[in-house]
Structure 1
Amino acid sequence: MQREYVRAGGASGYLYRPAAANPKSRTAILIMHYAMDYSELPICSVMAKHGYSVLCVANGSGTLDDKLVDVYAVMRYLRQRDDIDKIILWGHSGGATLLSAYQMIAENGVQVCQGADKIHRCPDYLNGMPKADGVIWADSNWGNATMTVLSLDPAVKQQNNGLNIQPKLNLYSAANGFNSQGNSNYSPDFIRRFQHAVAQRNQTLLNEAQNRLKRIEAGKGAFSDDEPFVVAGAGSVGPNNKMIVQDNRLLSRTRQAWPLVHPDGSETVQIIHSVRQPKAMSGLTARLEMGASDTTVRGWLTDNAIRLQPDFRYDGCGVYGVEWTSTYASTAGNVTQIRVPSLILGMTGNYEFLAAELLYNQSPAGDKQLAFIEGASHMYDTCTACESYAGQYGNTLNTLAAYADKWLQQRKF
């Protein structure tokens, strides 16, 4: 295997390739995250060992719109190479938000994200982007905006103060069901009150951001272009995801039976259960770093805002009451407009695995496939903490790569 440094627009990373060119190496797989540097993500070299050209990059800073420009630059780079015929987008976690937004716009034009229903309308300069030939959503989440909702701390009394919280909504209080030694079995009443308060806070934040944007555009804001928008208890990286991390009964199983891929590559069709372990971590709401969303008014509306219905909730097998298409920072909304061949995969060692079932059901693609990798963590490595005995789940990175390779070969990519 070999790799070469690539820079395109604000994105940079490595193109991994097999040592000798072959028919499969004429297919490029593009892997990038929304915020993290994926230039050395292990799946990059593993897929290259299967014969593909794999471009793994880190993008620049800015909002979703800025990062879509980076994807555009990388896609142009790949399309201009005479040794690449087809391109597959590989979206993982929040990277699927970015790449699904790209593919949706590339397939349909900017009008798909400029409707009156959109909280933020995409700019005209995103028109004319080249589309990919297929997509792989491998442990995508529901979308960055939804992950913000799933991370909002409803106990916060003031939007920009992480120290003033309501005890009755404190997720980390033993009086409310928190268990620092294992799974937190929150009562149905607390879960209901917590989720309702999340929906209320989400609407309050949306209203505030929209009102402040109107003032900015009217020349009455604190600055002429944008304003700081600090939201306590709204950081959306993993440790901030709330309730679903502490109570493993939530988002724990699929509604329908789907293929479960075992370490030897065999499959059984069954209801898929998460094998994840509870993470009884303490809250980060009191902290600015990691705990808060430190953004701007425009940044919040572009990247974090989504509309919820009054009945917003989540239970053991789904998330409900989300207006998925109210923003294009929503993978579950974006896939409704993506029609290229789609492989959708969930990793059972995590809670985000369950987004795969929704993405599959939302997708209009004529060629779509859903499967789950047994015992894989969110980052694709084996969840050894989930095993009942050593080696139970094998090498899940290899299991995932072999399954993706088989899917690609069946479609002559």
Structure 2
Amino acid sequence: MSTSTGVVRVRYTRTPYLVVTNERHERKDVYGSIDDSVVRQAQLLRGDEPSDTVVVAMHPIGSPGYLPAFSQLARGGFHVIACGTRYSTGDAGLQMESCLLDLAACVRDAKERLGYERVILAGWSGGGSLMAGYQAEAEQRTITRTAAGEPTPLADTELIPADALMLMAAHRSRHRLITDFLDPSITDEDCPKDRDAELNIYDPENPNRPPYSPEYVARYRAAQRERNARITARAVAELDALKAAGRDHDESCFVVHGTMADPRWVDPTVDPNDRRPGWSYLGDPRVANDGPAGLARFCTTRGWLSQWSLEHAQVDAVDAAPRISVPTLVVANSADDAVPAAHPRDFYAALPDGAKRYHEIVGANHYFSGKGDQLSHLDEAALVVRDWASAL
């Protein structure tokens, strides 16, 4: 059926299944894995009408099957595979290179077992860099080892390129995002409670108040980059020490405090968009800054280097964009309270000229959640995708 707004809504089924492959590893990065099996939990969302095209969605962590955007695409008549990575139980040890392997297994399964002729990769939020990175690697390989410099099966795995790509409310990478979120007032990782008041945006004693001067923002951003580099140096040193002791497959785990201190949360003039001031997608940013659910809160050395390190991480949508030749759609939410407004614009600008399209949904927040027009914004996103996909 169609509504008065032109939105197609169909009844769809949700069929769970597994994508299983084998990889030989001396060290397990995922709790509960059995022998050499790598298991990804997937769902096929589809209506009664057959299709030779499927939308493949994946996020580095969590289950994308219940994210609003992908359920809405299924209601709109799309066949959607929402597949989790091997890291569905937690991302402390997550390596983006292994996520690329997970996506490769899902795409191959969609084509060879399920019989879909065309694949559209769909990356929402943190899935954007994963999808863009995969497509770029499938077209022109650059990654041959992990971010820690170790061998990876990715080097010898064929990546089947997709036929099209879309990024929805997506940031450019985990390492770029966390750097903008790091609390630079923490100058000693061993003493996280001792903070530099002039760099603590949540400290009432901080003489710098919103709206921040350009000079203060520049100083703040530089201090965030310096903190990222300090954590990276510690991770590298710890990993080197383990290997020097003959413990090549051992790991070291650590906590990163203060990971929700982007000045955008308290100053709407920093990277401006239509977001709600003093708020974030994790709620009150001051609480989330030291809460248990913060990004990168719990890490391993290899996980930090692959996901969060500015120096070592290898998967970034903007860096990948010049290697992507397939038609690409970028959908940005103007009131996004998670993704920096510059990230989707920068990705779009870095794509080669040609078959690319950019659309901004005015008023939409990151999750299309809350009161007001968020459901209509979700409808708009589905319509934009439908119109774009029908022209492929």
Q: Is TM more than 0.5 here?
A: yes
Change in 2 beyond 3 A, CA 1:241/1:168: closer
In the TM superposition, what are the counterparts of 1:227-376 in structure 2 within 5 Å? 227-234=252-259, 240=260, 242-252=262-272, 274-280=273-279, 281=284, 282-287=286-291, 290=294, 293-307=297-311, 327-350=313-336, 352=339, 353-364=341-352, 366-376=354-364
Counterpart pick for 2:235 among 201, 204, 209? 209
Q: Counterparts in 2 of 1:126-165, with a 5 A limit? A: 126=155, 127-165=157-195
- Which of 46, 60, 70 is the equivalent residue of 1:44? 70
Cα deviation per residue 1:134-165 (whole Å; 9 max; x = unaligned)? 10011111211111101111111321443121
Cα displacement string for residues 199-240 of structure 1 (whole angstroms, at most 9, x for unaligned residues): 22122222222233322222277x752212332223xxxxx2
Q: Percent identity?
A: 22
SS of 2:136's partner is helix
Give the TM-score normalised by structure 2: 0.81
Over 3 Å counting, the alpha-carbon distance change for 1:114 and 1:70 in structure 2 is: closer
Separation in 2, partners of 1:342, 1:382: 26
CA distance in 2: counterparts of 1:68 and 1:200, whole angstroms:
28
Change (3 A) 1:291 1:304: closer
Q: Is the 8 A contact 1:304 1:329 kept in 2?
A: no
Q: Give the drift of 1:359.
A: 0.3
* TM-score computed with the length of structure 1 as normaliser: 0.77
The whole-number CA distance in structure 2 between the counterparts of 1:83 and 1:406 is 24
Q: What one-letter code is carried by the residue in structure 2 that aligns with 1:276?
A: R
Aligned with residue 378 of structure 2, among 376, 383, 397: 397
Does residue 2 (structure 1) correspond to residue 13 (structure 2)? The answer is yes
Aligned counterpart in structure 2 of residue 74 of structure 1, from 106, 117, 120: 106
What is the aligned counterpart of 1:11 among 28, 37, 40? 40
- Mapped to 1, the partners of 2:151 and 2:382 lie a distance apart of 34
Mark the runs of 5 or more structure 1 residues left unpaired by the alignment: 235-239, 253-273, 308-325, 385-389
Q: Provide, for residues 87-143 of structure 1, a one-character-per-residue CA deviation record: whole Å limited to 9, x for no partner.
A: 01111111112222222222223xx12499x77577243431211111001111121
> Is 1:378 aligned with 2:389?
no
Greater strand fraction, Structure 1 or Structure 2: 1
1:151-194 per-position Cα deviation (integer Å, ceiling 9, x unaligned): 11111132144312111211102343688xxxx42344432322
Change (3 A) 1:64 1:373: same
| Structure 1 match to 2:201 | 171
CA RMSD of aligned residues (A): 2.7
Secondary structure of 1:39 counterpart: helix
Match of 1:225 in 2: 250
Q: Distance in 1 between matches of 2:198 and 2:375?
A: 43
User: What's the offset of the Cα at 1:84?
Assistant: 1.4
Q: 1:241 to 1:7 in 2, by over 3 A?
A: farther
**What per-residue deviation string (whole Å, max 9, x for no partner) do you get for residues 287-336 of structure 1?**
555376211111111111114xxxxxxxxxxxxxxxxxx63232221223
